[in-house]
């Protein structure tokens, strides 16, 4: 490479670094906000689970249409990804998990309805030839209450009417800034196990959860007005909270993943620019050395005469 080429390359690497650094800073701020939001939703989920857990002995005899499993001939899949890329393996992992879940149904593609939350999910499932029931944009940094209540209402309605017999959600769970994991949970028919599995993905340092552990439920509850009445209020809430939880956690994961990806990119470009500068200096020194030796050679040639 000539001196000029190297110089151009150094400049372009530095420019890239400026962009990635800015994105890193922006993501860091968004990450903090969305992390707080994701964590603030957890007490609700834990409380809902503990109510369900403690009630389950007394509620055994009662059933609710949303908890009854039937033979699966049609399924719905809610996939939560981001709208924009540049966030490492985040979306790839979610889509991989989602295709695995879709394959496990062992149903023809037209019997699987996909609720795609985020552009990446929409594009992917369209390409794969699935029926997109509905697609949502995931641009805003805040999870809108309308969106999630819309999804959960539509899921509950579809399940009740028999439009699908099983609903799963695939999203990224937020463990820490450096660790996010794509997970899938069964939403409908609602079962204790799937709800428990979801709560298990929470960080174990969560104080709320540790407090809860040393606790044995009372043998008997007074239930008013009736167990059916309680379930009727509680279960639709649980469905919507699973959806909301998936959206919040995915948001926090997205920003964290992007910040880490951008940090790696900035670090890498710093290294690259350093090594390019070294090459540049070496090349410049080589030119100077050659010129000096030419001059010295010339003087010596003249001195002989």
Partner 1 sequence: MKVTIARAHENLFSGEAESLTLPLSEGVATILPHHEPFVSTLSAGKVTVRSAEGEKVFDVESGVLEVSNNQATVIL
- Given the rule CB under 8 A, which residues bind partner 1? 37, 40-41, 43-44, 47-48, 50-51, 54-55, 143, 145, 215, 217-218, 220-225, 229-230, 232-234, 237, 240-241, 244, 248
CB of 95: closest distance to partner 1 in angstroms?
Answer: 26
Cβ nearer to partner 1, comparing 145 with 296: 145
CA-only gyration radius of the chain, Å: 28
Cβ nearer to partner 1, comparing 39 with 86: 39
- Judged on CB neighbours under 10 Å (0-12, 13-18, 19+), 243 is buried
- Rounded to whole angstroms, the Cα distance separating 219 from 217 reads 6
Which residues, other chains included, contact 70 with Cβ-Cβ below 8 Å and sequence gap of 6+?
A: 165, 189
Cβ nearer to partner 1, comparing 36 with 89: 36
**Closest listed residue to residue 136, CA positions, set 151, 149, 124:** 151
Cβ nearer to partner 1, comparing 42 with 120: 42
Cβ nearer to partner 1, comparing 129 with 225: 225
CB of 214: closest distance to partner 1 in angstroms?
Answer: 11
Q: Is there a contact between 54 and 221 (Cβ–Cβ < 8 Å)?
A: yes
Any idea what the Cα angle at residue 188 is, between residues 182 and 189, rounded to 5°?
Answer: 130
Cβ nearer to partner 1, comparing 166 with 255: 255
Token code pair at residue 256: 């964290």
CB of 237: closest distance to partner 1 in angstroms?
Answer: 7
CB of 77: closest distance to partner 1 in angstroms?
Answer: 22
Rounded-to-10 torsion of CA 249, 253, 255, 256:
130
CB of 12: closest distance to partner 1 in angstroms?
Answer: 43
**Closest listed residue to residue 40, CA positions, set 49, 32, 30:** 32
CB of 225: closest distance to partner 1 in angstroms?
Answer: 5
Q: Tell me, what DSSP letter sits at residue 143? A: P
């Amino acid at each position: 490479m000539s001196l000029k080429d190297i110089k151009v390359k150094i400049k372009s690497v530095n420019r890239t670094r400026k962009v990635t650094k800015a994105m890193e800073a922006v993501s860091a701020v968004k990450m903090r906000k969305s992390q707080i939001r994701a964590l603030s939703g957890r007490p609700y989920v834990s409380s809902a689970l503990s109510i369900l857990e403690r009630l389950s002995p007394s509620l055994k005899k009662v059933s609710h249409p949303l908890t009854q499993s039937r033979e699966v001939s049609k399924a719905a899949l809610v996939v939560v990804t981001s709208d924009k890329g540049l966030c490492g393996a985040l979306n790839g992992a979610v889509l991989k998990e989602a295709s695995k879940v879709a394959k496990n149904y062992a149903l023809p593609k037209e019997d699987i309805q996909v609720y795609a939350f985020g552009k990446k999910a929409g594009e992917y499932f369209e390409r794969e030839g699935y029926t997109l029931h509905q697609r949502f944009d995931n641009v805003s940094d805040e999870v809108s209450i309308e969106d999630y209540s819309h999804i959960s209402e539509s899921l509950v309605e579809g399940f009740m009417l028999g439009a699908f017999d099983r609903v799963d959600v695939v999203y990224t769970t937020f463990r820490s800034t450096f660790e996010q994991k794509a997970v899938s949970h069964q939403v409908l028919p609602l079962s204790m196990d799937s709800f428990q599995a979801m709560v298990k993905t929470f960080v174990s340092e969560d104080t709320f959860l540790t407090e809860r552990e040393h606790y044995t439920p009372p043998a008997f509850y007074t239930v008013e007005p009736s167990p059916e009445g309680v379930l009727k209020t509680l279960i639709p809430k649980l469905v919507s909270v699973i959806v909301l939880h998936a959206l919040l956690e995915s948001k926090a994961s997205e920003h964290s993943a992007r910040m880490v990806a951008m940090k790696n990119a900035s670090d890498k470009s710093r290294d690259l620019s350093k090594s390019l500068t070294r090459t540049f200096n070496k090349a410049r020194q080589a030119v100077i050395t050659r010129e000096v030796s030419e001059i010295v050679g010339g003087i010596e040639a003249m001195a002989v005469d």
